[in-house]
Amino acid sequence: MGFFGNFDNKKGYEALDTEDPETNAPPPPYSPAAVDRDEQTASAPSRSDLQKDYQSFEQYQQQQVLLNQQQQQNRVPDVGSPSSSSSPSPYPYPTSQSGHNKNVYPPYQDGAAQAHNTMGQHQPPFRRAPPTPTTETTSECDVCVWFQSMVDKVKNWRQDRIRLRQEEERKRRFKRCCAGFTCGALIIFVLIPILVSIIRPSIDHCVRDGSSGWDSLPEKIPFEGGAVRVDINGGISGGNIKLEPLPGGQEGYITSHVNAAPSSLIDKFQYRLNRVGPETQLILNFPDSLGPFFGCVYVEIRISIPMDASSVIVNTADMAITADEAIKSDYLELKTTNSRIKLEHGWHGNKIVLRSRNSGFDFHDDMSLHAIDSIDLETTNGGIRLDNADTVTGSIRLSSSNGRIQAKNTHAATLLDVHTSNGRIEFEDTTAPHMVVRTTNGKVELNRVTADDTLTVQTWNGAIRAIVDGSERIKATFQTSNGKIRVNMVIIFFFVTLFPVGLFSLIIYFSLSTAFLFYGSIQSHLFIHSQSSRSWK
């Protein structure tokens, strides 16, 4: 026999094992009156209600058996048409047409569905079905807005992604173009000299095979008065001008030799030999164009300089000027382009002027310059190194572009003027009463320089570091931008002692000078940042 019980919200169904048919009656169908009752005090329907709703317990069991059979056949009758029984259905509630027994039986007073317990089957006791979770439904308008926003985000993401890919592709194309252009330029720069060297004949071709000499040019030209000038104009393939000293008592002379290929170029050569006062002038004129790939002109000149030479001037292009021995002349002026000027054993005289393009000057060790008046060196796209040079009465001027300037143990009698661009300046043990140092995009380092009167140091985009020795009258100016200035100036104070000259007085003098030397060094130590200047007087 099945178990039925009274319903209670707190206790649930309490199983009762009793033979009282009225007590074990199933729960009645849904009663509207029970809804108004408080859930806390709700109880099972009364006996009168059960008798009113159901005719008898046996009829209820018959209805249950019929419903079970219909459920097994996946058929559930409609509410208003009971099956084979002629009695009306006691269930006034809708039933499911899907073949399942969900919501077939009348719900309890709290609205929960009943679970049928067959008499002959062992089913778990009646329990309340778990409550169905309720969720807040979103209105159709909010869903549309959210969906449209998601669609817009997807579209924007796709557009951003496409734009980023296009930008990356442009960058890759630009890099490929730059790499291709750079590689092409390098290949061209490498191949052009090779092709020119292959197609165009070498200098040996001018000197030996297939060349002709310029016979109308005098091979030896003497000059009197100790002054000589040689000017070479036009295009030449190469050559050399060599200076050599002569023993005392001999007159100077010029030896020249010119080869050309093809021989038809010789008809375009011209020369002039002039004598202006004590000076002998030799001027050689060559055509600017030597022909397509086959023209060649080679010039070789030797100038023998006497001991009492007053002036030597050489002006040429694409030719080296060299001297294997020390040269002595009052005035020496050498100019060339794309080639070097080299004086192996230096020079002694009154004034020297050296000009070069695309080449530098290097005078160190025995290659020193000693002038009574002045030393003037200027170059472009090259550096200058000048060691152990001095002047007796004049100045030293060093000028360069795109190159470094270095000077060591150099002494100027009046002025030391140094200027360069895109290069650094380095001085060591250099003295001059007036010193001017200027550079751009470079660093200035002055190590133990001595300037008695004025010292001016200027640079842009570079730092200045100097250790300066001088008197107490020195006026020093340091100026830079985008760099730092660090100057150490040492001032030596001289004292007159009252002690008699002797060992004791000498010890006191040197002790005081050393102490003040250290004190002056500390007091003059500066560390100035960029875009600033400082003067001491």
* pLDDT tens column, 384-422: 999 999 999 999 999 999 899 999 999 999 999 999 998
Tell me the percentage of the chain whose pLDDT exceeds 90: 31
Higher-confidence residue of 349 and 144: namely 349
* pLDDT tens column, 84-127: 444 444 444 444 444 444 444 455 445 555 544 444 444 444 44
Q: Which residues contact 428 (CB under 8 A, 6 or more apart)?
A: 407, 408, 409, 447, 448, 449
Question: How many other C-beta atoms are found inside a 10 Å radius of the C-beta of residue 99?
Answer: 13
Question: Which pLDDT value is given to residue 47?
Answer: 59
Please provide the average confidence, as pLDDT, over all residues in the chain: 73
Question: Which pLDDT value is given to residue 290?
Answer: 75
Q: How far, in whole angstroms, is CA 226 from its chain's centroid? A: 59
Question: Which pLDDT value is given to residue 68?
Answer: 78
Alpha carbon distances (Å) from 177 to 183, 186, 246: 10, 14, 62
pTM as predicted: 0.57
- Pairing relationship of beta strands 405-408 and 238-245 according to DSSP bridges: unpaired
* pLDDT tens column, 476-497: 899 988 888 998 876 543 333 3
Task: Answer whether residue 513 shows pLDDT above 90.
Answer: no
User: Could you tell me the residue ranges of all domains in the chain?
Assistant: 1-128, 200-329+336-345, 360-537
Higher-confidence residue of 386 and 15: namely 386
DSSP 310-336: -EEEEE-SS-EEEESS-EEEEEEEEEE
Task: Answer whether residue 520 shows pLDDT above 50.
Answer: no
DSSP annotation of 12: -
Element (H, E) at 57: helix 57-72
Question: Which pLDDT value is given to residue 315?
Answer: 95
Task: Return the HEC string of 389-457.
Answer: CEECCCCEEEEEECCCEEEECCECCCEEEEEEECCCEEEEEEECCEEEEEEECCCEEEEEEECCCEEEE
**How far apart, in whole angstroms, are the C-alpha atoms of residue 175 and residue 497?**
77
* pLDDT tens column, 68-96: 777 776 544 444 444 444 444 444 444 44
- Show the tokens assigned to 515: 């102490």
